[in-house]
Structure 1
Amino acid sequence: MNAAALSFKPNNHFDSAETVGRTYGQDSLQAPDILAAIERACTRIAPLWPLQQFVAVNPFLGLSDRSFAEACEFSARMGQGEMLMPASFYAEQYRRGYIQDADISQAMQQTGSNRSLQQCLIELQNLPSHDTALPGNPCYTLADHLDAEHGSQWALLITDEISKWCAAYFDQGQSAWRMPWRGLPLYAAWRRAAAFDRTPELAGLSAFRQTISALPEQPIEAITRILAAMGLPSARLDDACHRQLLTVAGWSAWVRYKHWQASPEQTQDALLQLLAIRLSYDYALISAVASLQDVETWRDHWQDAPLANTDTGAALEIRHIMQSAYELATQRPLFEKLASALASASPHQADRKNLQAVFCIDVRSEIYRRALETQSNTIETLGFAGFFGFPIEYIALGHHQGQPQCPVLLKPKFRIRESVSDADVGELSDILEKRWLRKRLNRLWKGFKNSAVSCFSYVEISGLSFAGKLLSDSLGLTRPVVKPGIAGLDKHIVHRIGPVITRQRGRLIAKGPVVETGIALGDRIELARKALQGMSLNEGFARLVLLCGHGSSTVNNPYAAGLDCGACGGHSGEANARVAAAVLNDREVRAGLSTQGLTIPKDTWFVAGLHDTTTDEVRLFDLDQIPHYFSEDLLLLRRWLDQASQLARQERAPGLGLANDDAASLTRAVSKRSRDWSQIRPEWGLAGNIAFIAAPRTRTSHFELNGRVFLHNYEYRQDTDAAILSLIMSAPMVVASWINLQYYASTVDNRRFGSGNKALHNVVGTIGILEGNGGDLRVGLPWQSLNDGKILRHEPVRLTVVIEAPAEMIEQVLANHAEVRQLVDNQWLHLTRIDPFDNCCYRYIQQHWQAVTDYGRER
């Protein structure tokens, strides 16, 4: 970066930052006030999970106590990001007839606008087409203000510098040379590094090292001194701290995650240290670059009137009305289908099924469920959270720690280890020793290839020997890397590996600590009971019950975990399905359930499976444990699954740009995509999600939902105390909302809430992504996961929730769960219910139910 572009000569330069503090009389700031402001700022930051466990997170998590409309204004004002599409988007939807006049009128009614339809359309037409930025944003950092006034690039430099040091400090093993001060707290480590770093001074920030060394060693003391020097109004300190953190929003989110499962105090302390680092750079600008007039002008910006009183606030209001109208238009086809299904709903079939298949509520499962149901009228599918109610930490063979296999809102309660079936102690020891030897050799070989002294000579000498492998990988004929779960294992061993569910105590690795794994019988019975009740599967068991988790097959894709099961913490659902099936097949568990009035027939068997959402193949597990008298049922199941996979691939093919004439060619094509290291869209993930439905499958089985709806089975008649509904609304519904809002945010403002262009991604520290070779840690989804190059593949709408239950049951849940009520009342999602008595839909608006008629328009 050109240093001349960063620096300028101020007109009224002064000697020290303390001069400004004395000028504004802010030396009276107290630590408790600072800490309170920091705590408020920290709660606005949503966590960012690492790539290995990448799960969808609501980026507006810290704003959920505000209404959606208020959050739109606040987010834009703070520079956090735009929460609405540009005016041109809504104008185009109206021009082509997608948004209708009735939608706009209804949206104005819901938002409380007193405009006429004509006024709204005129104002929409007069808005700038694409410019959504706020003119004269008062919530600037000092670096932002100097850049705007003088054309410098201090904000960019500061973000790059902080990102550089955070990447070194938080690195999880990617770098060959580690930061020597990683054992110190973040702020202390950065001060040690800054003492040697001349980059800011070379960029024009004179005496930077001396300025930083003169700051207090404790971060809270440093923050207090800096804020006093800045002279910001005490009433805006929380906004000022929040804005500082937003300039390194990605790293702020990562720090927030680091202590997400620890304690609020630790989270506050970690973000406090990052805040101290960011403020230190603005402090250095006050000391060396900014004039007194610059600081005074910047400070005055923080005294500006609220945005709602400006023309920009009025423009936001129009866009908010149009966003609501757009969402009403998107809901119309869904309510049209529901109205048709409600009118023709048939009684529940009492005949025993040959197969019940339980899938994750993930929207991709909807396509496969429909395909499977067409195979026979003796098949019933159900929707349930993909971890199947088993919050476990799954420890892979030869490891002493595992990964959480449950939604991020939960913590694992049980540790499950892998073992090799029918292996004695000697064989198991040999397998473990061989696996770790191979892994160590692979690490040494990788270290040699990447080392500074050997990388070039290695390529010169050995490069041609890899030509064949490089060619086959490039053509998608082979997989560039082995799947981590089977790395270091012989092929004939892989199929013998499975979970051990019984309670055991011992070492998982040589010389490791003694740990307890497995699940005690009483806990297994309780988990099984809750899982079956959550599936609304208390009776009428089929001969085979398939518990089908899901995962995705991709290579060279840092966001691979984002395509796996969110309910399993960004992992595939294989482990949960196998553990759940093993528990439900356990004779002792069934005996315990029978004493509680829940009887599983002796001729019912639970089978674990995994749906690969890239290839639409379903793999079955632990088949050697299935009794021989299920052999014909198993053959029939395999045939049904093969045919359903073919139908699902054919339905998804056009969206992937594949021809679907020849089934065999299509199968090869999707399989090749899963191995293609240049493929930027191996599948579409959860793009297009618009709704969450909790109801019996009979409500939705008569029509196509096009892979856009989360489907959760729910029978309110089996839920007399609303306990199951409470669980659904406080867990799966919230997770679905998180997913929806992440896709929404990444679409409306990918620059701030997304991760940009996949082709420019670089993995940093195995933690996350940089777009290019610098800048902030990116959050959210890449643009290629949302847009096919021509049109948006994800419509930016808030989630529509449809629940079949009496009004009083839903209202009871809202009354008992403040966070859920907050999501609903503040319009972060749209709540609708199907009344089981009159078969009509009702929308929840301002704490009242309003009938939905005429395909989504209220009466």
Structure 2
Amino acid sequence: DAAQARAALARDPASQNDGPAVVATIAEVLDRLSAGDRQASRTAFMVDEISRWCAGYFDEGQASWQMPGRDAGPWAAWRETMRHDRNAEAMGIKGFRQLVASLPEDPVAAISEIVAAIGIPERAMIDYLHRALFDIGGWAAYVRYLVWDNNLYGREDSRLIELLAIRMAWGFALFQQRSDAAFRDAWAQEMARAATLSPDHDSEALASDPDLAVALLFQEAYEMAWQQQLLSRLARNEAAPQPFALPRQAGRKPLQAAFCIDVRSEVYRRALEQVVPAGETLGFAGFFGYPIEYVPIGRETGGAQCPVLLTPAFTITEMVNGASAEEETEVLGLRLLRRRAAKAWKSFKQSAVSSFTYVEAMGLAFAPKLVGDALGLTRTVSDPNTDGLPADVIGRLGPRLEPQVVGGRMTGLNAAQRLAQAEAVLRGMSLTTDFARFVLLAGHGSTTANNPHASGLDCGACGGHTGEANARLAADILNDPAMRIGLRSKGIAIPDDTWFLGALHDTTTDEITLFDTNRVPPALRDELAELQGWLSRASALTRRERARFLDLDAPEGDVDTQVLRRSRDWAQVRPEWGLAGNGAFIAAPRHRTLGVDLGGRSFLHSYDWRQDEGFGVLKLIMTAPMVVASWINLQYYGSVVNNRVWGAGNKVLHNVVGTLGVLEGNGGDLKTGLAWQSVHDGEKFLHEPLRLNVFIEAPLAAMTDVIMASQTVRELVDNQWLHLWAIDDAGRVSHRYTQDGEWIALS
């Protein structure tokens, strides 16, 4: 009853026992017998040893000396390394090297042999193997990502199974050490309990755990309270005057600005709509429909600038605008030379012998650099996007459209590919008529210093990179007169005086950078200057709104200068809040939310189902942006409710490992999720743990068809990882999805 529920809320969750796992591992039983003594914890020692080895094996360039034998695969490489590693035996695990050498060379055979030797009942086998990987959940998650990424390209990858074999071998070694009655009895009891678990043990555990039931009850109530607030805002009277300083004007729009659906864009879009009431803003995934691999000058391969659900369809190389082939070759040679020099200098600083003389001889020479870094005048390290390039070249870099063969690979896009992508992008944004004079395509990225998690602040739709290359590529193609002729044959007529501009929204400073302005036709130069003024005013408004959450040193002072300084401060743990606060995803025409302050908590995707013949765009939205938004939401959710397990811990204690992640301190498992400082301001949480609420304006039947056709989407909505709502033709939130294709009408 209500009194019991209030009493349950008053209990300290930290004092409640989570109860036993479905099935305990060997290390867990040993830790239980040692009464939780950290010094005697076999789990902690095992995790430290596996993590240390994984850091060397999966290193991507941080280590001065590479681990030998990495090409053989994790299991073979680990067995070879263990032939020479005496750490386990020094800690009392006798015969460890001999045991490892005796295991089969095939990792699956090794797992099978260990399972039989320690006596895991068949009923508990899957649970046990899952639990074993959970002990090294960070590394297991990273390797699972590598496997998944290879599968996207059709490549087989057995590394997760091999990592499991390593973990099982460690458990087997611990098992072999203990022949005492206390351990054997405890282990036998655990296996007997596991063997009797029913297939519905999860439901039975919930039914017998009133604290968990109460927790779930209040989670539902907590989410319903926020949903009611959001529904109230969305139900505002559309006929009422919009809260803008100037009346909206009829006729052709002076500006259309497309931003990424990222929640930070929602704040900027409101500000820009206030500055330019006659304009229009749109939301679209920040890769702008171009799944590319972008290869910077001086590199043979690049990063995938598209959602992780996709594989790059095109390879785009970087070029120096206005430079001849000879000049580009000279720039390339200079960059490679400078990089080699920087690498040699780094090796000298870090080598086993010269590192000592280096500090003695050069220490004082770094005083100016230390002062400059502390004051935010210089970067702690070179910008990896521009390192080794002359200053006069940096501003001239851009994507190369023309097809050519580079390193045996075809790069660029041919005419047919450009036309197909241009049409898909415009239809995806529901932008096929009424084009403005300027159409801004604004990708986004962040500016931070000394931040191992910087990619988490960049564009998720661009695979953790900035959206600059994608936005510029889309603008170049849409400005091509030949493409416009082709688009007219597809029913999309872009006026001759419409100009597309690629841009980048810096989400830390809220500055907008316009690219390739030198190509803007002379007839639009005056309007370009006006556009730059609009963007400057919108940036200032956005900074002031965000500054409320930044704990500035002088809140009433010069906000612009303080925000800019934070972006350059190498000691700043909260340069911006990223996607903290995200709680909703709305796919509908902008006028449904125009003038509604959504507080920077909503992903906004422009979508008009009336222009979506066959509902191909709806399918794309529900199977890609909606899924990725849910992943982001769950990452923030987990980092709040249990940062120790699902988050990255204290950012101040982080150590970068292998350039692929961080450890908290000098050992332990690879951390996942977000740092504590990314969700908490020191006094309170800046993110509320709410499952994502998805609102889509489309016919119920069309959405149901997508759900039933996609297993991924169905698992998300049927298992309530997110809440799905429907918006009707009148703009009213009319239905809520339940399960198995069923909807409930709202009163």
1:708 to 582, 589, 601: 601
How many percent identity over aligned positions?
Answer: 48
- Report what 2:332 is aligned to: 432
Q: Quick one: distance in 2 between partners of 1:832 and 1:793?
A: 25
- Report what 1:142 is aligned to: 26
Structure 2 CA distance for partners of 1:446 and 1:297, relative to 1, 3 Å: same
The alpha-carbon deviation at position 308 of structure 1 amounts to 3.7
2:58 alignment partner AA: F
Gapped runs of 5+ residues in structure 1? 1-116, 508-512, 853-858
- Deviations 1:154-192 (Å, cap 9, x if unpaired)? 111111111111111111111112212222221111111
Maintained 8 Å contact 1:654/1:660: no
Maintained 8 Å contact 1:585/1:606: yes
Counterpart secondary structure, 2:613:
coil
- Report what 2:373 is aligned to: 473
- Report what 2:488 is aligned to: 594
Counterpart secondary structure, 1:261:
helix
Maintained 8 Å contact 2:316/2:412: yes
Q: Quick one: distance in 2 between partners of 1:573 and 1:433?
A: 27
Q: Quick one: distance in 1 between partners of 2:120 and 2:51?
A: 26
Structure 2 CA distance for partners of 1:133 and 1:692, relative to 1, 3 Å: farther
Counterpart secondary structure, 1:412:
coil
Maintained 8 Å contact 1:386/1:565: yes
Maintained 8 Å contact 2:582/2:633: yes
1:324 to 194, 216, 220: 220
Q: Quick one: distance in 1 between partners of 2:401 and 2:256?
A: 23
- Report what 2:510 is aligned to: 616
The alpha-carbon deviation at position 814 of structure 1 amounts to 1.7
Q: Quick one: distance in 2 between partners of 1:376 and 1:224?
A: 67
Structure 2 CA distance for partners of 1:153 and 1:661, relative to 1, 3 Å: closer
Q: Quick one: distance in 1 between partners of 2:132 and 2:701?
A: 45
Higher RCO (CA < 8 A, seq sep 6+): 1
Q: Quick one: distance in 1 between partners of 2:595 and 2:312?
A: 37
Q: Quick one: distance in 1 between partners of 2:312 and 2:167?
A: 35
More deviation, 404-413/722-731:
722-731
Maintained 8 Å contact 1:722/1:813: no
Counterpart secondary structure, 2:195:
coil
Matches within 5 A, 1:255-654: 255-263=143-151, 269-291=158-180, 292-303=184-195, 305=197, 306-310=201-205, 313-342=209-238, 344=240, 351-505=251-405, 507=406, 513-654=407-548
Whether 1:666 and 2:595 are equivalent positions in the alignment is: no
Counterpart secondary structure, 1:485:
coil
Maintained 8 Å contact 1:500/1:518: yes
Q: Quick one: distance in 1 between partners of 2:192 and 2:87?
A: 31
- Report what 2:64 is aligned to: 176
- Report what 1:212 is aligned to: 100
Q: Quick one: distance in 2 between partners of 1:338 and 1:290?
A: 66
Structure 2 CA distance for partners of 1:290 and 1:542, relative to 1, 3 Å: farther
2:258 alignment partner AA: V
Q: Quick one: distance in 1 between partners of 2:429 and 2:328?
A: 37
The alpha-carbon deviation at position 381 of structure 1 amounts to 0.5
- Report what 1:768 is aligned to: 661
Q: Quick one: distance in 1 between partners of 2:595 and 2:189?
A: 64
Q: Quick one: distance in 1 between partners of 2:142 and 2:715?
A: 25
TM-score for the superposition, normalised by structure 2: 0.94
Counterpart secondary structure, 1:607:
strand
- Deviations 1:806-849 (Å, cap 9, x if unpaired)? 22222222222222122111111001111114734322224443
The size of the alignment, in residue pairs, is 730
- Report what 2:591 is aligned to: 698
Maintained 8 Å contact 1:479/1:675: yes
Counterpart secondary structure, 1:389:
coil
Matches within 5 A, 1:119-158: 121=5, 124-125=8-9, 129-131=13-15, 133-151=17-35, 152-158=40-46
- Report what 2:706 is aligned to: 813
Maintained 8 Å contact 1:345/1:698: no
- Deviations 1:432-479 (Å, cap 9, x if unpaired)? 111111111011111111111111221111111110110111121222
Structure 2 CA distance for partners of 1:838 and 1:527, relative to 1, 3 Å: closer
Whether 1:722 and 2:615 are equivalent positions in the alignment is: yes
Matches within 5 A, 1:188-199: 188-199=76-87
Maintained 8 Å contact 1:187/1:219: yes
The alpha-carbon deviation at position 124 of structure 1 amounts to 2.7
The alpha-carbon deviation at position 348 of structure 1 amounts to 11
RMSD: 2.0
Q: Quick one: distance in 2 between partners of 1:563 and 1:514?
A: 34
Q: Quick one: distance in 2 between partners of 1:341 and 1:120?
A: 41
Maintained 8 Å contact 2:147/2:158: no
Counterpart secondary structure, 2:425:
helix
Whether 1:243 and 2:131 are equivalent positions in the alignment is: yes
- Deviations 1:193-217 (Å, cap 9, x if unpaired)? 1111111111111111122122222
Maintained 8 Å contact 2:231/2:733: no
2:113 to 219, 225, 229: 225
Q: Quick one: distance in 2 between partners of 1:686 and 1:809?
A: 30
Counterpart secondary structure, 2:715:
helix
Structure 2 CA distance for partners of 1:122 and 1:648, relative to 1, 3 Å: closer
Q: Quick one: distance in 1 between partners of 2:652 and 2:452?
A: 11
Maintained 8 Å contact 1:390/1:580: yes
Counterpart secondary structure, 1:722:
helix
Q: Quick one: distance in 2 between partners of 1:216 and 1:726?
A: 47
2:230 alignment partner AA: L
- Deviations 1:499-527 (Å, cap 9, x if unpaired)? 1112222x4xxxxx332110011110010
2:42 alignment partner AA: W
Gapped runs of 5+ residues in structure 2? none
1:269 alignment partner AA: S
Q: Which runs of 4+ in 1 moved over 6 A?
A: 264-268, 345-350, 659-663
Q: Quick one: distance in 1 between partners of 2:175 and 2:118?
A: 8
Counterpart secondary structure, 2:381:
coil
1:682 to 550, 571, 575: 575
Counterpart secondary structure, 2:513:
strand
Counterpart secondary structure, 1:743:
helix
2:5 alignment partner AA: L
The alpha-carbon deviation at position 701 of structure 1 amounts to 1.2
2:229 alignment partner AA: P
1:552 alignment partner AA: S
Counterpart secondary structure, 1:547:
strand
Maintained 8 Å contact 1:397/1:417: yes
- Deviations 1:88-142 (Å, cap 9, x if unpaired)? xxxxxxxxxxxxxxxxxxxxxxxxxxxxx53762673585543454223342110
